[in-house]
Structure 1
């Protein structure tokens, strides 16, 4: 749920693009290359980037530049951690912009909305659940895989609508847009929780945020 087709003014493009570029550069430099070298992880990361761009294309238009669709960013963040996820989602944003003729002036804003905010929020939720809740596998699956995904996806939708209202005040949002967005986020949370459970059992290498030493050892 980015802002791909309504070009931003040069001033807003710079104001939003500069911090997004700095955050992306930091993520690239901080990303663990060792984790990507593990068997099948790099392939899963590349496939997730392509799938993310395809998922965003399966959308329901609400306004000319406001579409409801699955986000995918909460699952991406849980699978690869903050830095690798931020990098991968940013690549997916660039791929989507190129493939579907989006506005390149909006690249920074979309990286902020679809990569920086959800990856930071997902990482914060993960750390807080580890700090305040029991170190149990079901806490990870339900706390982060379901409820965390719901909060992350909702934050993406709400922040996108708020920023869009600020950038384009003349384009009034439909009264029920937020309600439908939250309903879709709720449904996606069930899907993310299901996939996280499957990956934790059959493909734990794809869940870089799931630590056996934290959630399984000694249980």
Structure 2
């Protein structure tokens, strides 16, 4: 049942992303961060397989990808990353699909929704972007994705829910610090690598 849900989410997300034709964005400055993500993220996702049993720290990078590439292109990159993990790792394709859904597609989609809420209800301020979307938004997206996953696995006979949620809470902040740090760096030095950033929106002087 859980595998069917994960497969459905993956197919639906990939179908919507392909329908939006995000590869058109690769003609600009986003080609470099997209290729870098495809090259580097698989090794970050493979890290839990190389750590001692019981000490599986997992970082995602999905929320940062949404800020850099936009949701549709981020979904395509995450699909390639999950495919690479399935081919290079030892856990098998089913585990790679689960990893791709719960630390990739679901937090990326939640980050998109959180970003839309912040754009709607908060002023267009650089600190709102870096702290709201880059830091706190990432923590919320990663934790909520972890909650949904652990509830599903608990219903399927997984580990104690309380212990799992504490671990998800702590790991969410690791991703939040990573995303917040890189977001601030890119805003300052290479804003062209952030598809969701706009100088006109966030640096425009306030109207009197």
C-alpha change, 1:34 and 1:213, in structure 2 (3 Å) is: farther
Pair 1:139 & 2:128 matched: yes
In the TM superposition, what whole-angstrom CA distance separates every residue of 1:38-92 from its partner, at most 9, and x where no partner exists?
A: 13x21211211222111122235565xx933222111112111111111111111
In the TM superposition, what whole-angstrom CA distance separates every residue of 1:164-188 from its partner, at most 9, and x where no partner exists?
A: 2233x1x424853422331232233
CA distance in 1, matches of 2:155, 2:25: 39
Task: Look up the match of 1:36.
Answer: 26
Pair 1:99 & 2:80 matched: no
C-alpha change, 1:23 and 1:181, in structure 2 (3 Å) is: closer
Pair 1:69 & 2:58 matched: yes
Task: Look up the match of 1:18.
Answer: 8
Q: How well do the aligned residues superpose, as a CA RMSD in angstroms?
A: 2.3
Q: 1:206 pairs with 178, 189, 193, which one?
A: 193
Q: Is the 8 A contact 2:42 2:85 kept in 1?
A: yes
CA distance in 1, matches of 2:107, 2:82: 14
Alignment of 1:145-184 (within 5 A): 145-167=134-156, 169=157, 171-173=158-160, 176-184=163-171
Pair 1:217 & 2:204 matched: yes
Distance apart, 1:121 and its partner CA: 0.9
Could you list the structure 1 runs, at least 4 aligned residues long, displaced by more than 4 angstroms after superposition: 60-63
Q: Is the 8 A contact 1:27 1:86 kept in 2?
A: yes
C-alpha change, 1:107 and 1:191, in structure 2 (3 Å) is: closer
Tell me, which stretches of 5 or more residues in structure 1 are unaligned? 1-10
Q: Is the 8 A contact 2:42 2:84 kept in 1?
A: yes
Give the number of the structure whose residues are more often helix, by fraction: 2
Q: 1:130 pairs with 116, 119, 128, which one?
A: 119
Task: Look up the match of 1:188.
Answer: 175
Q: Is the 8 A contact 1:52 1:92 kept in 2?
A: yes
Distance apart, 1:12 and its partner CA: 4.4
Q: Is the 8 A contact 2:33 2:68 kept in 1?
A: no
C-alpha change, 1:130 and 1:174, in structure 2 (3 Å) is: closer
Distance apart, 1:107 and its partner CA: 5.1
TM-score (norm 1): 0.82
Distance apart, 1:128 and its partner CA: 0.8
Q: Is the 8 A contact 1:62 1:68 kept in 2?
A: no
Distance apart, 1:157 and its partner CA: 2.4
TM-score (norm 2): 0.86
